[in-house]
Amino acid sequence: MKILVVDDEADVQPLFLQRFRKEIREHELEFDFALSGEEALVYLQEKHSEVVLILSDINMPGMSGIDLLSRIRHDYNAPPPPIVMMITAYGDDENHRQAIENGANDFLTKPLDFSLLKEKLKTLLA
């Protein structure tokens, strides 16, 4: 299962790779990364069919996560639609509401609770 992680923090990449090293090693999960919404859209143009899950930060310079979400829901929502999870440092209701309104499947707050994330992935994959 291919997961696209969109975050402007570059260190998110090693973090994910480390956290999911077992799953990666066992080829359960495959990660791709984008450092901005724009980069993510470029990536999706080619590989939207491969990607099952998109994890995106909301607060990014340039295109925000919410924008990216609405673009995905608009452009790449052909069935099966990708699962989109929003991640933000601001775990407030307003962010949550906006994310859900724009079609996010789930909403996670930073610092990321990877065990919770893994639980959710298991649920999704089950």
Partner 1 sequence: MTLNPFQLLFAILFTLTLTVKAQVKPVNYNAMPANGITLDTGWRYSPQDNPQFAEPAFNDASWGGINPIYPPHRIPQLKGAKIGWLRLHFKTGPNLGSRPFIFDMLQSAASEIYLDGKLIGKYGTLSANPSNVVPLGLNLQNQEVYLTQGAEHVFAVRIAPWRGPAINSNWLYLCQITLIDANQYIEITKTTIKGDEVYIALTSVFFLLSLLHLAFYRYDPTQRANLFFAVYAIISTLGFLGVVMQGEVQDCRIWLCVYVPAFLTTLMGAVWVIRALGTLFSFKINRLEIGLWCVYIITSFLIIFWQINRPFFTGLIIFGLVQIWLTVKALRMKKRGAGIIASGFAVSVVALAPFLFGVTISDLTHQLLILILFLAPALGISLYLAREFALDSSLLRKKLVQVETLSVQNLAQEQEKQQLLARQNDNLENEVAVRTSELQRSLSELKSAQTQLIQSEKMASLGELTAGIAHEIQNPLNFVNNFSDVNREMIDELKEELKAGNIDEALAIANDIQQNEEKIIQHGKRADNIVKGMLQHSRSNTGERQLSDINTIADEFLKLSYHGLRAKDKSFNADLVTHFAESLPSVNMVPQNIGRVLLNLFNNAFYAVNQKKKIAGADYKPTVEVTTVLKDNFIEIIVKDNGQGVSDAIKDKIMQPFFTTKPTGEGTGLGLSLSYDIIVKGHSGSIAIESTEGLGASFIIKLPLTSKNNESV
Binding footprint of partner 1 on the chain (CB under 8 A): 9, 11, 14-15, 18-19, 58-59, 61-64, 66-67, 89-90, 94-95, 98, 110-112, 114
* DSSP label of 104: -
CA–CA gap between residue 45 and residue 75 (Å, rounded) = 9
Contact between 35 and 7 under an 8 Å Cβ cutoff? The reply is yes
For partner 1, give the closer residue by CB, 56 or 95. 95
CB nearer partner 1, residue 50 or residue 67 = 67
Complex with partner 1: residue 49 or 116, whichever CB lies closer: 116
Q: What is the CA radius of gyration of the chain?
A: 13
Please report how close the Cβ of residue 101 comes to partner 1 at its closest, in angstroms.
Answer: 11
- For residue 58, the one-letter residue type is I
Instruction: Report the nearest approach of partner 1 to the CB of residue 113 (Å).
Output: 9
d(CA 88, CA 90): 5
Shortest distance (Å) from residue 96 CB to partner 1 = 10
Q: In the complex with partner 1, which residue's Cβ is closer, 24 or 50? A: 24
Peptide linkage before 80 cis (omega within 30 of 0):
yes
